[in-house]
Structure 1
Amino acid sequence: MVSAAGGPGRAHIIVLGNEKGGSGKSTTAVHIAVALAHAGFDVGAIDLDARQRTVARYLENRVNFGKKRELELPVPAVAVIEDAPGDTDLLIDQLLEWRDRDFIVVDTPGRDSPLARAALGRADTLVTPMNDSFVDFDLIGQVDPETFKVKKPSFYAELIWDTRKARARTDGGTVDWVVLRNRLANLDARNMRRMAAALGELSKRVGFRVVPGLSERVIFRELFPRGLTLLDTNALEDFSLSHVAARAELRALIGGLALPGWDTATAAAAAAAA
């Protein structure tokens, strides 16, 4: 186990938040959690979408596949919490129970709810995956239809702004907000340039960092039934150049989050493999 990322008795909490579905939020959450486990960290994953249970199902598939193939796969601990009135207490209790872990990865439902807001309010790192389109951009900012210049932040950016202020008042903590540009396409370069410009402009106004996410690859969807990630090289069959490129994307994503202890852990892993 790597030394605690958040210090003794203080796990570093990573919250995946986006009120729009289809952005790759749960897939990203699983890959972050498993990547951290691969690096030797003690990781817990909390699934707040008890109806779909995508994160929980992914990790259950991972456990079952590992047993079937007799593979040693690092698996984060997982908890599912119902999104119902009063269950914010259950979330707080779970976070307290896992406070001695290195990281806790929380996947929120794709809608506004008291439970999702409670998770946002306890994030050290907030990750908002979004598709590379102005449909998704509208969640955090509105643009002029002629110039594509940012007119004003949208409701979700305002929610995060309020959450950050409340967090600072409560315990003096800060929230590192990271926007992931998922499903970057190789086509439509004009749209990509406009998106990059709009994100750059808005990031300066509301204070988030932009990191390349996971592109639209069938590989990521095909891994779900076995619960695997592209870091599970000992379990993957027919490893191809596409796998290599997708794995590089994943590593760049995790590195871009600038999580405490990550560089040290990866350097130690590289030295051990040499």
Structure 2
Amino acid sequence: MAAHLIVLGNEKGGTGKSTTAVHVAVALAHAGFKVGALDLDGRQRTFARYIENRSAFAAKRGLELPTPETVVITDETPDLDRERLIAQVGAFARSKDAIVIDTPGRDSVLGRTAMGIADTLVTPLNDSFVDFDLIGQVDPDTYKVKRPSFYAELVWDARKARAKVDGGSVDWVVLRNRLSSLEARNRKRVGGALDELSKRIGFRVVPGLSERVIYRELFPKGLTLLDTAVIDEVSMSHVAARAELRELIGSLNLPMWDAAAQASA
């Protein structure tokens, strides 16, 4: 496919997956790329609602905001919906530079299918051992990694299947979302476990989005930290969050983002 496929995957809710997905998609659109987006959670529709709010706000203000073309695919009839997913990805691949897929926060046929065709798989985790347990189990006394968990095994199987099908590879990126300056001991222990596990099963660890109220406040208007030109009051928190977002996008090592950075240098 010509389009680069970015999948946000995590079977645990509350990790900032949809918020991250929206910001990645809008950041690429702001950079001038044609972006298609798929929301595979037909019940919650968090990504789709964010984009609907964005379109409504733009229409009300008479604005033209860079916005990804978004399609919702339900997961009520697995076989049919899998076919719809593959067909929509194929359609986007012919007209888009990038495709961003937000998967449900639970195990699903659609989520597994998307994982298996990803070029970049992004797994946001809150910085705690509760979330770490999704990808690895640790010894309660030493905090050393004992074994990979079920989701890591799913990713491993998906990567092997992808290599057999087309020889492609999946760049797996784990985001440490909601990093706190407090609880330094917990932060260090989680970081150590992530580094240890990453060497065993092959993922990259990058800083994600911090715990900032601004991310939740922007949802009703569908705005992101890159839309400061239309945000009524811009604070230092906005500026810091925008820099944080740019660092996150850059750390994903997306081929089109690297090209855009070189062109603007």
TM-score range, shorter chain: over 0.9
Equivalent position of 1:5 in the other structure = none
Amino acid at match of 1:78: T
- Partner SS, residue 128 of structure 1: strand
2: distance between equivalents of 1:232 and 1:20? 29
Instruction: Please tell me whether residue 215 in structure 1 is matched to residue 210 in structure 2.
Output: yes
Deviations 1:33-75 (A, max 9, x none): 0000000110001000011111111011111101111122001
Query: Alignment partner for residue 188 of structure 1, among 177, 183, 190?
Result: 183
- Kept after mapping to 2: 8 A contact 1:39/1:266: no
Is the contact between residue 122 and residue 167 of structure 1 (CA under 8 Å) also seen in structure 2?
Answer: yes
CA-CA distance at 1:267 after TM superposition: 4.5
Partner of 1:93: 87
Structure 2 equivalent of residue 3 of structure 1: none
* Matched-pair contact (CA < 8 Å) for 1:43–1:103: yes
Q: Which amino acid aligns with 2:104?
A: P
RMSD after superposition: 1.0
- Separation in 2, partners of 1:59, 1:245: 23
Q: 2:57 and 2:258 mapped to 1: Cα distance?
A: 30
Q: Secondary structure at the match of 2:117?
A: coil
Q: CA deviation at 1:187?
A: 0.4
* Per-residue deviation, residues 170-222 of structure 1 (Å, max 9, x unmatched): 00000000000000011000001001100000000000000100000000000
Residue pair 1:48, 1:115 contacting (<8 A) in 2 also: yes
Match of 1:116 among 102, 111, 118: 111
Alignment match of 1:60 (pick from 52, 68, 73): 52
| TM-score (ref. length: structure 2) | 0.97
CA distance in 2, matches of 1:175, 1:267: 24
2:4 aligned residue (6, 9, 12)? 12
Deviation at 1:89, TM superposition (A): 0.4
Report the equivalent of 1:31.
Answer: 23
Compute the displacement of 1:263 (Å): 2.5
- 1:169 pairs with one of 164, 173, 180: 164
Which residue of 2 is the match for residue 70 of structure 1?
Answer: 62
Residue 29 of structure 1 aligns to a residue whose secondary structure is: helix
Once residues 113 and 14 of structure 1 are traced to their aligned partners in structure 2, the CA distance between those partners, rounded to angstroms, is: 18
Secondary structure of the residue aligned to 2:124 is: strand
SS at match of 2:71: strand
Q: What is the aligned partner in structure 1 of residue 144 from structure 2?
A: 149
TM-score (norm 1): 0.94
User: What secondary structure sits across from 1:121 in the alignment?
Assistant: helix
Q: Structure 2 matches for 1:122-141, cutoff 5 A?
A: 122-141=117-136
Note if contact 1:181-1:210 (Cα within 8 Å) is conserved in structure 2.
Answer: yes
Asked if 1:48 is matched to 2:40, the reply is yes
The answer for the alignment partner of 1:4 in structure 2 is none
Residue type of the alignment partner of 1:58: Y
Aligned match of 2:72: 80
8 Å CA contact 1:211, 1:253 repeated in 2: yes
Give the match's secondary structure for 2:255: coil
How much does 1:266 deviate? Answer: 3.4
Match of 2:13 among 2, 21, 41: 21
The partner residue of 1:225 within 208, 212, 220 is: 220
Shift of the 73–267 alpha-carbon distance from structure 1 to 2, 3 Å rule, reads: farther
Structure 1 segments of 4+ aligned residues over 2 angstroms from their partners: none
Aligned residue pairs: how many? 262
- Point out where structure 1 has 5 or more consecutive residues left out of the alignment: 1-8
2:13 match: secondary structure: coil
Q: Distance in 1 between matches of 2:9 and 2:40?
A: 11
Task: Work out the percentage of aligned pairs sharing the same amino acid.
Answer: 71
What is the deviation of 1:117? 0.5
